[in-house]
Amino acid sequence: MSTIVSEEIEIVRQHKAEVAAGERFEFGKNWAAFLAVLDEERIETAVKSLAEMLECETLAGMRFLDIGSGSGLFSLAAKRLGAEVVSFDFDTNSVECTRELKRRYFPDDAAWTIEQGSALDAEYVKSLGKFDVVYSWGVLHHTGEMWKALENAVIPTQPGGKLFIALYNDTGSQARRWHWIKKTYCRLPGFLKTPFAAAVSLPEEAKQFASAVVRLRPLEYVHSWTQYKRGRGMDRWRDIIDWVGGFPYEYASVDEVFEFYKARGFMLTKIVSGGVGLGCNEFVFERKA
């Protein structure tokens, strides 16, 4: 048995053990459901959002690493922009989701490699080589060792290359409360998980609906569901499940992330952080030559 195969088997075993112990959310199963509603509009929205954050029109001639590829949507977006793509994820179902998108859209493209691996394994990350763009949106705070994962993201970023990450915002006691909620969700029996997710989401949904009604704009709330895919091409209900169940769960302030990468020779070139609340701050760093 090859070393690569044995390492993947060990990752699968570890993932299953963490899920069974209620220590990890099955992100991949959630993304598998998302693929059923994935359409061309969502794909084009993802392509546009990726190009806007990276401030480019094309990734032709560039290598793109997707750390924690999830549904595979943004690996696909990078391919649409012309990049050579390497995708990996810790979750078996996420790996299969990404492979499914390759089968659908780039079945014979040797310039898209998909593997199962861990962002916490520095030797594995190093083995992938150097990249012009390293991308990890909403992933590294789910590893259980966020700062180690952020450190490892430095390894494949070549000098002059870009590192595009998104991490949960530190909101103090509110974030700590959600840590408990997420851990509770993962430890519930399967049949209770969806009702629990709906229940804990209801107060915020009710608040948003009431606000829209008071302002005599009820359709604004309706559109927040029906037009949700116009954001990053995702699905609102799948994102809610991902949010409520997303454990392990860590978070960081903008200043902490900025200082962390500044000390490692990175320059912040773009940030989206205003009004994100518990959501993700988005950062694009460039590694100094």
The pLDDT, as a whole number, for residue 144 is: 94
| Band of pLDDT at residue 6, cut at 50, 70 and 90 | low
Measured distance CA(142)–CA(249) in Å, rounded: 5
Residue matched to tokens 């549904």: 71
Measured distance CA(162)–CA(157) in Å, rounded: 7
The pLDDT, as a whole number, for residue 233 is: 53
* Helix or strand run (H / E) with residue 101: helix 92-105
Other CB atoms within 10 Å distance of the CB of residue 209:
15
Token duo for residue 118: 């861990």
Closest CA to 163 of 10, 282, 41, 4: 282
pLDDT in tens, 213-232: 888 887 887 777 777 665 55
Strand, coil or helix: 210: helix
Closest CA to 117 of 152, 141, 82, 83: 152
Token duo for residue 33: 């459901």
Burial 10-32 (b: 16+ CB within 10 A, else e): ebeeebeebeeeeebbbbbbbbb
Q: In angstroms, what CA-CA distances link 243 with 141, 152, 254, 278?
A: 12, 24, 20, 10
List Cβ neighbours of 53 (8 Å cut-off, separation of 6 or more). 164, 270, 272, 282, 284
pLDDT in tens, 162-220: 999 999 999 999 999 999 999 999 999 989 999 999 999 998 888 888 888 888 887 88
pLDDT in tens, 47-82: 999 999 999 999 999 999 999 999 999 999 999 999
Measured distance CA(160)–CA(134) in Å, rounded: 12
pLDDT in tens, 234-273: 677 878 888 898 899 999 999 999 999 999 999 999 999 9
Domain boundaries, the chain: 3-170+249-287
pLDDT in tens, 13-60: 887 888 787 778 777 777 777 788 889 999 999 999 999 999 999 999
Question: CATH fold of 3-170+249-287, please?
Answer: Rossmann fold (3.40.50)
